[in-house]
Structure 1
């Protein structure tokens, strides 16, 4: 081979490799939007990776609640209200697989009494209005406002979101009520008339017998409910396949808060539970902000009622999850998050840009 030709060929190959390598490096770099989303420079919570304890005032003194921010977006910020009452943010951890790639900022938050926050023993703190006041203090501390603040409440969190919106919707950009009805009496009727009869008669009879005795600590109660109720209406997969975040949430449930407000039964809210008569169905037309309701076909809550709710608020949308149960964010996950992301972005696109 001619030496001159050989050297020219080598030079061309080296230049090609260098260009290819440079092109790959450019391609691998985060986009400007991604870089901005991941940049926590100058944020109060930069040192702790987004985690932050917020001091709240209550009639019984000051306490701290745990929050954690994920991402940066000045126009789309979602505060997550977990279920229970007395549950934790952990069940929401699947949001990490969907919201960051859409550039949506969101906040995990354990309400007072929940695992990552202070857990005072004073039972007078466990009432809906006190929780509403807590959410308002958290909102202020996080700097959320009507230009960016979306509130997502799941199950009990949905009750809390509705109560908050009825008092503070002027500070909100949008609301998502996930898997929660607007009336506990209507929920009780659905559990009694629809969900109960779906169980084998002999199982339902034994469950009712245990409940009539108030023997809720009997291992047989959960032995009956797990295969005949939970895996059909709470999370539709075998218990041994339940995701780790869900198991941790259940393990960390504050039973004192849960039983006081929700009661010990899994068939509705009864007994001395403080939420037994809660009903905001007649107040839904007062809600003006864009609102998404989410219901699953196999939910513990009536999906038709949740569709009806979307028609009662002034600017409502309904997301139906045909494969979903009460935790549709897991058992109808892609449909759930596609609908959630579209709602948030539609509301954002409808708002005039500054």
Structure 2
């Protein structure tokens, strides 16, 4: 809540006094006195809530004295009501405070889980600079079904970005399995196709162990990327994922796969060979990897967001600046509405 909301109890008390002074003696603003005290419970501290109640009680008593009702039964009844509401507001304030403490504890645990399951990639490996962002669809969520990993291996720098089908703790568990498998296999598998086979097996096994016995119940879309230790190129394998964006100076384009493949977990339905695409990646080039939460955002007319527009005609100082500009433009396009998690990974060769 904004800081101005904390003034609501004082505003309600002021309105109550104005009503008492500007209306006939038979009209009472008792409801506003009670409303002011109750509104203080979620907005102020316990001390502020009690002081609001004491001040309301004092002002109400002064109004009765001003109109000559100081010792009447009506005055005593209303004053007792205001005092009772003050006690109730104090109790509610404590209940809300303890719930706030519990919620903050849960958020701290969620943040710790995110750092453990989805750690930030290194800022730099050799000539490559990295930046990553994770934007959850829910403001109170920390992690969901999107993932990204960067690993420095004997075969070069390898990255993956993926989107797990499903939501909730099942998706988080699948993310943890996928990241763990990729980190281990990336260090030992000499080829991207071998790495893909390991990931395919892990996704299928996780789906079976989770009770999703049919092949269409659990899958992961993803892009595997490899920057060899020698040469200025990048190799990519796309398994049913949105095409990465390649930025080469003034040229910005999608890196479409040479062959469309099914997502991980559905490999048994795809009899074709894996397609490894090789693209030139010289000094100054940038590669943007993202999940569909970026491109599925719509504006008021229903138009989907296209990251090419943000990346075209702009020179960004590095991957962090690129992602900051992209997130800001995405926010303007969607009006702040977000229906899906969004993971972004940007790589620049310096």
Q: Which has the greater radius of gyration?
A: 2
Same fold (TM over 0.5): no
Higher strand share: 2
- Using structure 2 for the length normalisation, give the TM-score: 0.33
TM-score normalised by L of structure 1: 0.33
